[in-house]
Amino acid sequence: MQAVREDGASRIILAWVLVVISILVATGSIGLWVYSAFSTGTLASSQSSKKTVQVVPTPTQSQQASAITSKYMQAFLTHNYASMWTMLHPQMQAIWPNQAAFEAYWQRRFQDYTLQKFTLGTPNQLDYWVNPETMTRYDKVMQIPVSLTLVPKQESPPGFQPDQLFQHLPFVVQQATDGADKGKWLVLAGGPADVEAPIIPPLAAAQKTVQVPILMYHHVSPPVTQSALDVSLAVEPEIFKQQLAYLKKQGYHSITFNQLFSALYYDAPLPAKPIILSFDDGYDDAYNNVYPMLKEQGFSGMFYIITGKVGWKGQATWPQLREMMRNGMQMGSHTVDHSDMGQVLQISQEQAQKEFRVSQSTLQKNLGVPIQQFCYPAGEPFRSYSAILQQEALKLLAEDGYVGATLDPGGQTPAGTTQKSLAPFKLMRLRIDGRATLQEFTNSF
């Protein structure tokens, strides 16, 4: 009898234990479901907030944008520059002294080539576009890729393949929403028929000089260490901000390298006080510090990238570089791994060519634009190597399709602001020292 009572009590206890376990399991399941639902919702919300909404243009918009593009390019092929002028956005016209200067420029720029035909790609609507020459933003624009077929009247410069250079270049138009041009589509960027299209050196050497300071920076951040070298290479962000404010107050206008070469080769006009701000090595402070301050003051900048280090700790990433480009910044090659090109040339011309070509092709692949500008790491071979090695470097750069390269003042290389059409691969720069006061900065050019 006692055994029966004990067995009954055990069963009651076991039943209660099972009830408690069931409650705990049910509660846990509900908690997991709530957590899962909340987490999934949060993740979806986060992903949704980062997703870029693609705006598909209407058939009418695509047709109208393609029509103005075709009309502009047809006028270009037939050298009807007066007609091209009438299709430009008024702010694009304002860049030129007058219509005559615009027409003379285009006559000179392609005088060595026969323009055969053009083809249009699929129109794409962009939420905005930034003109790198003025840093002006234009909202709600249409972009049409345009390819141009052209052939040289004589043998073209070594390394240049025009049919490859002039492929899928962005032609940008905007529909006016007010004023006398309301409803009209106006040209903002002319694709192959634009100052920012690839530069082809003239077959007959141009002889011209222009005064354009090219400022040379490395870090815009506190110095990595307090060594003399690190301090000299790092301009404090607050000092850089003061320098930009000074340039703005004094009426300086940043220009692109295409504008510089258009002035040297085709006699294009430049602003009254042109300047180029260049930044070596592609550090992440270029994105975090330099880029926002340049945008704030309406300046563009040239960033020379070490392609083998993109994305490393302390270096900018490809998405950051693409964002900078979309907002008016320029990119140039600074070799694959920041090699001393004088030393490389002494060892192997093949290895030197690899540094030039691979860095160029990597930038083109990841940024989607022709890369025609180069910067010598530490200025070599022009600071301390022989004239023979220097000539080898110039020859290789030309063969690779580069059109310009900047020096690093020091050693055999003086600082300066005089840029020469006969020395496109020896563009002068002014090194900005991180220890310089604002007064010393203002006195440097």
Phi, psi of 353 (to 5 degrees): -60, -35
Phi, psi of 202 (to 5 degrees): -65, 150
Phi, psi of 268 (to 5 degrees): -70, 150
Distance CA 32, CA 78 (A): 71
The secondary element (H helix, E strand) that includes residue 105 is: helix 99-109
8 A C-beta contact, residue 275 and residue 300: no
- Residues with Cβ within 8 Å of 39's Cβ and at least 6 positions away in sequence, in order, are none
Tell me, what amino acid is at 94? A
pLDDT at 24: 41
- For residue 312, the Cα-to-chain-centroid distance in whole angstroms is 19
Distance CA 128, CA 423 (A): 37
Q: Quick count: other Cβ atoms within 10 Å of Cβ 325?
A: 17
Distance CA 445, CA 432 (A): 11
Token representation of residue 140: 């709600």
Distance CA 87, CA 3 (A): 105
Antiparallel, parallel or unpaired: β 185-190 and 169-175: antiparallel
Token representation of residue 17: 């234990």
Tell me if residue 58 falls in helix, strand or coil: coil
8 A C-beta contact, residue 177 and residue 139: no
pLDDT tens, residue order, the chain (445 aa): 444 344 444 444 444 434 334 444 344 433 333 333 333 333 233 333 334 344 677 889 999 999 999 999 999 999 999 999 999 999 999 999 999 999 999 999 999 999 999 999 999 999 999 999 999 999 999 999 999 999 998 887 777 888 789 999 999 999 999 888 899 999 999 999 999 999 999 988 889 999 999 999 999 999 989 999 999 999 999 999 999 999 999 999 999 999 999 999 999 999 999 999 999 999 999 999 999 999 999 999 999 999 999 999 999 999 999 999 999 999 999 999 999 999 999 999 999 999 999 999 999 999 999 999 999 999 999 999 999 999 999 999 999 999 999 999 988 899 999 999 999 999 999 999 999 999 999 998 8
The secondary element (H helix, E strand) that includes residue 116 is: strand 113-120
Distance CA 369, CA 429 (A): 24
Distance CA 318, CA 3 (A): 79
Token representation of residue 48: 């949704």
Antiparallel, parallel or unpaired: β 185-190 and 404-406: unpaired
Any idea how long the chain is? 445
Burial of 343 (0-12, 13-18, 19+ CB in 10 A): middle
pLDDT at 53: 42
pLDDT at 159: 79
- Domains of the chain with bracketed CATH: 59-193 (3.10.450), 209-442 (3.20.20.370)
What is the biggest distance separating any 2 CA atoms in the chain, rounded to whole angstroms?
Answer: 121
Distance CA 281, CA 407 (A): 14
pLDDT at 348: 96
Q: Look at the block and give the residue holding tokens 């940008």.
A: 172
Tell me, what amino acid is at 87? M
